[in-house]
């Protein structure tokens, strides 16, 4: 975006500064139709609640775009000692230096990945009246649909809708709790991703030079939340985002994305694309793993840009650990010494999530838990 565009937005904002933003947000929320509803209504320009503040747009001019490529790690041969050592070494480097990487040959059939993308697309594109049954901002609901988890706290609304399947306090979801249109594909995907998550935590334990089952024994992989995003084609993508910059309030994230792309993460203070790889899955270190690793592994900021092409579909699985009953987490004792004292205080998952949901997602929660 050039400076003339930024100035044009500044003029627009100053003319609209007296508008009642809360009223506009409530009107959008009350439709229960999300961003998809705006597209169905035939809009050709963005409602003002979606337009990013001018200071963000100007800051964008100062952040470059990197041509760097996040590591791609081949998980084949994981049962071989030599191959496992290679994989662990690559995971360690990726987790310490990048915070983001992709995995291939992970064992999940392509038909399962494609089926999940197709099922989530069908959910979001079905009749609005069918989706409204699931529309809610009540975080205690296991299956819910909404638009923008921080709708009333963000400075600008993001261009996306989300179906959430929350297994934070539950080990599984019953089939009849899921929307019929994506029921079978979602169950299949959840089962495969749950198994892959356990494998990754074992490898990450080894990468931290701990016993293989340390992170698994801490039950880091037990709680899971699946957020199934739908990003419609945007008429003015330079003025908004699909998802604001943020870090994830979890231990680890596994992301399935379709062929369109748009995910970026900060590396060396530059936005770096994460291009889709056929059959690949994106993995990123999240906040809670940075804490328990005592900053050995890095949770880095990332975002999703808006696009004139769409819809884009992505499914993120957040591994959130144990929330109920309350379990205490903190820097792993094996990683603490006189030379490397604990950098964070102990916490519960519920405490961390309550902090996350009390603010806009673009504010990191890590500082709140530093000693």
Q: What integer pLDDT is reported at residue 17 of this predicted model?
A: 52
The alpha carbon dihedral of 205, 211, 213, 219 has a sign of: negative
Cα-based distances in Å from 57 to 4, 54, 231: 11, 5, 20
Task: Give per-residue burial for 82-104: e unless 16+ CB within 10 Å, then b.
Answer: eebeebbebbbebbbebbbbbbe
Provide mean pLDDT across the span 329-352.
94
Taking phi first (over 0 means left), then psi (-120 to 50 degrees means alpha), and beta for anything else, what does residue 99 get?
A: left
Six-digit token pair at 261?
């792309």
pLDDT at 58: 83
| Closest residue by Cα to residue 246 from 229, 267, 265 | 265
Residue 64: CB atoms within 10 A of its CB come to: 10
pLDDT at 92 over 50: yes
Handedness of CA 279, 217, 91, 273 (dihedral sign): positive
Kindly state the average pLDDT of the residues 202-228: 95
For position 362, what pLDDT does the model report? Answer: 79
Mean pLDDT of the chain: 92
- pLDDT of 5 over the 70 cut: no
The number of folded domains in the chain is 1
In the predicted model, what is the mean pLDDT of residues 135-145? 95
pTM of the model: 0.92
The predicted-structure confidence for 29-76, as pLDDT tens digits, reads as follows: 999 999 999 999 999 999 999 999 998 888 876 677 888 999 999 999
Output the CA–CA distances (angstroms, integers) from residue 114 to 106, 108, 178, 256, in the order listed. 15, 11, 18, 9
Element (H, E) at 103: strand 100-104
Question: Which residues on adjacent β-strands are paired with residue 328?
Answer: 348
- In this predicted structure, the answer to whether residue 183 has a pLDDT above a threshold of 50 is yes
Write 339-344 long-range contacts (CB < 8 A, 24+): 340/294, 342/294, 342/371, 343/291, 343/294, 343/295, 343/370, 343/371, 344/291, 344/294, 344/369, 344/370, 344/371
Distance of CA 99 to the CA centre of its chain: 13
pLDDT in tens, 142-153: 999 999 999 999
Best mean pLDDT range from 8-22, 272-286, 347-361: 272-286
Judged against a pLDDT cut of 50, whether residue 83 lies above it is answered with yes
Tell me the CA end-to-end span of the chain in Å, nearest whole number. 39
The residue segments making up the domain with residue 21 are: 3-369
CATH number of residue 290's parent domain: 2.60.120.330
Helix (H, G, I), strand (E, B) or coil at 295: coil
pLDDT in tens, 263-322: 999 999 899 999 999 999 999 999 999 999 999 999 999 999 999 999 999 999 999 999
pLDDT at 13 over 80: no
């Amino acid at each position: 975006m050039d400076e003339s565009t930024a100035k044009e937005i500044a003029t627009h904002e100053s003319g609209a500064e007296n508008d009642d933003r809360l009223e506009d947000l409530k009107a959008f929320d009350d439709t229960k139709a999300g961003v998809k509803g705006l597209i169905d209504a035939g809009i050709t320009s963005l409602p003002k609640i979606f337009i990013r503040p001018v200071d963000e747009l100007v800051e964008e001019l100062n952040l470059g775009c990197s041509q760097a490529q996040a590591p791609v790690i081949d998980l084949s041969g994981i049962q071989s000692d030599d191959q496992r050592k290679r994989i662990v070494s690559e995971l360690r480097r990726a987790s310490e230096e990048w915070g983001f990487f992709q995995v291939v040959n992970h064992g999940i059939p392509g038909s399962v990945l494609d089926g999940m993308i197709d099922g989530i697309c069908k959910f979001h594109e079905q009749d609005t009246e069918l989706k409204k049954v699931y529309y809610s901002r009540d975080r205690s609901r296991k299956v819910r649909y909404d638009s923008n988890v921080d709708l009333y706290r963000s400075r600008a609304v993001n261009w996306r809708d989300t179906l959430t399947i929350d297994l934070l306090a539950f080990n599984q979801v019953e089939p009849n709790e899921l929307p019929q249109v994506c029921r079978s594909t979602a169950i299949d995907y959840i089962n495969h991703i749950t198994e892959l998550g356990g494998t990754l935590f074992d490898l990450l334990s080894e990468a931290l030079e701990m016993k293989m089952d340390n992170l698994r024994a801490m039950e880091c992989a037990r709680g899971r939340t699946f957020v199934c995003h739908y990003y419609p084609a945007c008429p003015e993508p330079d003025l908004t985002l699909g998802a604001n910059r943020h870090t994830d309030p979890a231990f680890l994230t596994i992301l399935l994305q379709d062929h369109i792309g748009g995910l970026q993460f900060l590396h060396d203070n530059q936005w770096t694309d994460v291009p889709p790889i056929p059959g690949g899955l994106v993995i990123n270190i999240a906040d809670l793993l940075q804490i328990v690793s005592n900053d050995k592994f890095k949770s880095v900021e990332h975002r999703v840009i808006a696009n004139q092409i769409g819809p884009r579909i992505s499914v993120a699985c957040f591994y959130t650990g144990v929330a109920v009953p309350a379990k205490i987490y903190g820097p792993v004792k094996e990683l603490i010494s006189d030379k490397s004292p604990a950098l964070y205080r102990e916490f519960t998952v519920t405490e961390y999530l309550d902090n996350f949901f009390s603010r806009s997602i673009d504010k990191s929660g890590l500082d709140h838990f530093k000693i």
